[in-house]
Structure 1
Amino acid sequence: MSPPPLAIREQLREQRFNTVWKEELHDVFVDVAPYYDRANHIASFGLWNWFLRNFMSIIELRPGQRVLDVCAGTNAVGIALLQREPSLELHAMDRSAAMQEVGRQRAEDRGLKLASSTIGDVHVLPFPDNHFDVVTLQWASRHLRVRDLFTEIHRVLKPGGRFHHCDMLRPGNPTVEKLYYAYLRGSLAITGLLFGSGSAALGAKKYFIEALEMFYSADELSQVLRELGYRDVISKSLLAGMIGLHRAAKPLAD
């Protein structure tokens, strides 16, 4: 299926998926939290850590910076950042207390401590304007109102601060796209069986494919970032556009 035009993409995404986002995804992540990382290692054929290393490679850090990891999940990004630069003031935010509890334990097991963990709606970030040097977001924007969230991230970034994004995207090549969805249908079924997924996660399998069909390609997401006022936007595609990495800066003066 062809995605809707870029100008109305967000409106149609929200119309189609709003009920899932507001009423169903919470239960999905409660279900998958205990095995989320292990399932993704299997589903990605062992590439999960490679994706993270590629994401880390586009993030520039300085000692003592204040960092916000949005949709932090099990804190994979926060842990990697703190291991690289322990002096960071790192804050995590996620809507799922279950995922953050797993993340808190993972960080604690590695002798790391986050500055804060906030549970709430990431479309309304509870932080002041011009507050963070760096904001990161991985594996979540398919389930969010992208323009609203990216606008909030722009608000809380300091002038000159950088936003780093990584997610599964809609490949620009139609043949790759079809193969991608076929693979995802199979991997979701296999991991659901292996880990004994509950009804919430099993019921969301169709949604996960449909969300990608209506999502953005790497080039389209770059365009959205520029339209929202970000500058110096760069992107990097992995696996023929199945995974996209973006870095963008808040201008020194709007």
Structure 2
Amino acid sequence: MANGEGILLGEMHFADREDTREKLLKQVWTEELNDVFADVAGYYDRANHVASLGMWNWFRNSFLATIELQSGQRALDVCAGTNAVGLAMLRKQPDLQVYAMDRSTAMQEVGRQRAAREGFHIESVIGDVHKLPFPDNHFDVVTLQWASRHLRIMDVAREVHRVLKPGGHFYHCDMLRPGNRTIERLYYAYLRVSLSVTAVLFRSGMAARNCKKYFIDTLSLFYSVEEFSQLLKHTGFDNVQARSLLLGMIGFHRARKPGP
């Protein structure tokens, strides 16, 4: 895999950038990520808590605070992982219909067990989120968090736009590429250390250990907070709002599908 840190993509068209990301990252996307997620599923949330120096709950709660819910709405959590966001939405609004979609059976099994312990039901779908198996104009709310770097995100954004009802909202959260090059370099240096430490602490298998460089490459080839806002507008959303945390290392986005 090419070292993404040396590649500057800021002036390229979104489609070209997505093609470049796929070309450089596709091998891991198609051949390795399932094994990585199967490896980390059992300790995923605990590892993130350690890697974030205890800020993981703050990140999640800050993101959840951006999500507006109403009684009886239908919500889809894309790349749902262990169902942390779906469960948090149900605690906030228990009569939601929540669907979860993820490529990892292992992650969703952890999520199913968590939901069962709390007495909630989340309808789980295993599959490719680039082609959502839902009808047009179906959901009031769609969420996506901590996974965009592993996707052809413009294709997924178009699918999210398709399945949202007119006037529905898309809520996004992920690690993003800081706009400042000095902050970016410091960010990657910290991630190299934290990934190594968590791999030792949680006795990660070879699949996860071998992807440390990949996780840095995904960020260096990804979008800044402002660029991601422009991507959402480019795919048809309006009223795009963004919030940056930690000097652009993490970004929240809220976007609306035009309609009543």
Q: Given the two structures, how large is their TM-score scaled by the length of structure 1? A: 0.98
Query: Is 1:187 aligned to 2:194, yes or no?
Result: yes
Quote how far apart the aligned CAs of 1:109 are.
1.4
Distance 1:234 1:41 in 2: 27
User: Which residue in the other structure is 1:233 paired with?
Assistant: 240
Distance 2:197 2:234 in 1: 39
Matches within 5 A, 1:61-100: 61-100=69-108
Quote how far apart the aligned CAs of 1:3 are.
2.9
Distance 1:142 1:81 in 2: 23
**Contact 1:136–1:165 (8 Å) recurs in 2:** yes
User: Which residue in the other structure is 1:162 paired with?
Assistant: 169
Among the aligned pairs, what percent are the same residue?
A: 63
- Displacement over 3 Å in runs of 4+: none
Matches within 5 A, 1:117-156: 117-156=124-163
User: Which residue in the other structure is 2:53 paired with?
Assistant: 45
User: Which residue in the other structure is 1:204 paired with?
Assistant: 211
What is the root-mean-square deviation of aligned Cα atoms in Å?
0.9
> Aligned letter for 2:205?
G
Distance 2:116 2:33 in 1: 26
Which SS does the other structure have where 1:125 is aligned?
A: coil
Query: Is 1:246 aligned to 2:258, yes or no?
Result: no
Quote how far apart the aligned CAs of 1:6 are.
3.7
User: Which residue in the other structure is 2:3 paired with?
Assistant: none
Distance 1:75 1:172 in 2: 30
Matches within 5 A, 1:17-32: 17-32=25-40
Quote how far apart the aligned CAs of 1:96 are.
0.1
> Aligned letter for 1:34?
G
Which SS does the other structure have where 1:68 is aligned?
A: strand
Of 94, 110, 116, which aligns to 2:118?
110
Distance 1:198 1:226 in 2: 40
Which SS does the other structure have where 2:33 is aligned?
A: helix
Distance 2:141 2:8 in 1: 31
> Aligned letter for 2:217?
E
> Aligned letter for 1:127?
F
| Residue segments in structure 2 that go unaligned for 5+ positions in a row | 1-5
Residues 197-216 of structure 1 deviation map (CA, whole Å, 9 limit, x = unaligned):
00100000000001100000
Distance 1:79 1:59 in 2: 13
Which SS does the other structure have where 1:241 is aligned?
A: coil
User: Which residue in the other structure is 1:216 paired with?
Assistant: 223
Distance 1:58 1:37 in 2: 21
Residues 61-100 of structure 1 deviation map (CA, whole Å, 9 limit, x = unaligned):
1000000000000001001000000010000000000000
Distance 1:51 1:73 in 2: 16
Distance 2:131 2:143 in 1: 16
Which SS does the other structure have where 1:34 is aligned?
A: helix
Quote how far apart the aligned CAs of 1:17 are.
0.6
| Residue segments in structure 1 that go unaligned for 5+ positions in a row | none
Quote how far apart the aligned CAs of 1:2 are.
4.6
Residues 151-187 of structure 1 deviation map (CA, whole Å, 9 limit, x = unaligned):
0000000000000000000001111111100110000
User: Which residue in the other structure is 1:60 paired with?
Assistant: 68
Distance 1:2 1:12 in 2: 10
